Amino acid sequence: MEDVHERELVERCRSGDERAFQELVDRYKDLVFALIARTVQDRSRAEDLSQDVFLRVHRGLPYFRGEARLSTWIYRIVANVCLHDHGRAPRTAPLDEAQHADALSTADRQFTDLEVRDRLEKAIARLPANYRLLIAAHYLRGVQYEELAEALQLPLGTEDAQLYRAKQQLRRLLETDLQ
Amino acid sequence: MFCDEALDTIEAIAADELMPDGRVAAHLASCPNCAAALVSARALEQMLKRRVVPATPQQFTSRTMARVRRARWRNDQFLDVGFNVAVGLVVLTVVAGVWMLLNRSGLAVVSNDAVDLLGTGLVTFFRRVTPSLPLYAGAAAVLATALGIWWWAERDAAL
């Protein structure tokens, strides 16, 4: 049922229906933005890159043959955009800090949480882009593991191994940071 | 069992995706370094699970649609310019082709003669007509006046 609706949506987009494309953006924007924002860690850059993803989708729809699911294809574009983003180095202040800046003025516990989050985001920013994307996607609800593996052109077992390696590297970075 | 072997499984155990078998469990119980690594991996797992999901900016869709429209407009413009240039090139090619054909077949000489003839004819026509121009101008003025009076009379009758 979902597949049929998706195919209809793609067909409507292909025929130049602007509302259909808007529906597509509305359907995938949260996932795309969350994935990118967790990977590049700069909110305005993340928005630019997310818009780039949808521009590429719009440009590529006439050539989309429907062999893979639409979401898999979108993940692939997200992966390409994130892996080839050399536009700006990640800023020092993490994304979460910007969203919770008011927490600084509240209790000490919250401040400690913020500090821990800050350290985590800084450590994640030091990971290679493919590891950042894997970690971002793995802990996001709605991302299908199989589809992500297909998008990154990884066999399923390899993706697990890569994820463990990413977390191992992240743990080492955090431990080094704490020392 | 060596630490390397146990450490390879730490992340999977911390994510509850692997149950440590007897050898690994025994090693973790006896090796303080590996046990500490597991504690640290579990803490990291919790931190990653609690990581805030970035909220999509407001008006993201409208801003994206505006960019899509701009890109489409630019693409259309590019196509228009491309089409015009292509048409221009085709016209130039046709003209050049016809010119080459005329030159090679010797028809160019004939056409030059035809152009000369036409030019001479026009010059002769204007030379003959020029002396009578005041007469034609007077006749045209009389005709225009007559038409004007007729139009004025008709307009008055309609009122």
| A17-51 per-position pLDDT tens digit | 999 999 999 999 999 999 999 888 788 999 999 99
Report yes or no: B38 and B14 within 8 Å, Cβ to Cβ: yes
* Contacts with A34 from chain B: Cβ below 8 Å: 53-54, 56
Tokens coding B106:
């010797």
Task: Tell me, yes or no, if B66 comes closer than 8 A to chain A by beta carbon.
Answer: no
Nearest Cα neighbor of B61 from A18, A69, A14 is A18
The reported pLDDT for the residue numbered A156 is 65
Percent of chain A having pLDDT more than 70? 78
Q: Averaged over B56-67, what is the pLDDT?
A: 94
Contact B56/A at CB under 8 A = yes
pLDDT digits (tens, 9 = 90+) for B32-47: 988 999 998 998 999 8
Longest dimension (CA), chain B: 127
pLDDT at residue A7, as a whole number: 85
Look up residue A120 and give its amino acid.
Answer: L
Determine contact, residues A126/A173, Cβ cutoff 8 Å: yes
Query: Is the CB of residue A70 less than 8 Å from the CB of residue A144?
Result: no
Q: What are phi and psi of B106, to 5 degrees?
A: 85, 0
The CA-atom distances, in angstroms, between A44 and each of A49, A70, A72, B22, B60 are: 9, 26, 25, 50, 11
At A111-129, the pLDDT tens digits run 666 777 888 888 998 898 8
Find, among B153, B41, B22, the residue nearest to A171 by Cα: B41
What pLDDT is recorded for position A98? 46
- CA Rg value for chain A: 18
Name the pLDDT band for A104 (thresholds 50, 70, 90).
very low
One-letter amino acid of B118:
L
Q: Distance (Å) from the C-alpha of residue A67 to the closest C-alpha of chain B?
A: 25
Cβ proximity of A61 and A9 under 8 Å: no
Q: Which of A114, A103, A139 is nearest to B46 (CA)?
A: A139
Task: Compute the average pLDDT of residues A97-121.
Answer: 62
Rounded Cα distance between A79 and A49, Å, is 11
Tens digit of each residue's pLDDT (9 = 90 or more) over B100-154:
887 787 777 777 888 888 999 999 998 888 888 899 899 999 999 999 999 988 8
pLDDT at position A2: 63
CB nearest A167 (choices: B11, B52, B55): B11
Which residues on B lie below 8 Å from A18 (Cβ)? 65
Query: Cβ A46–B41 below 8 Å, yes or no?
Result: no
Query: How far is A117 from chain B, CA to nearest CA, in Å?
Result: 8
Q: What is the pLDDT of residues B82-105, one digit of tens each?
A: 999 999 999 999 999 988 887 787
Length of chain A: 179
Specify the pLDDT at position A28: 92
Specify the pLDDT at position A86.
62
| CB contact at 8 A, A113 and B43 | no
Residue found by looking up tokens 């407009």 in the block: B73
Cα–Cα distance, A84 to A41 (Å, whole number): 15
Picking from A26, A27, A1, A24, the residue whose alpha carbon sits closest to that of residue A11 is: A24
Q: What is the mean pLDDT of chain A?
A: 80
| Distance, C-alpha B135 to centroid of its chain | 60
Quick one: pLDDT at residue B66? Answer: 94
Torsion, Cα of B41, B42, B47, B48 (10° steps): 70
Report the percent of chain B where pLDDT is more than 90.
33
Find, among A115, A24, A120, the residue nearest to A73 by Cα.
Answer: A24
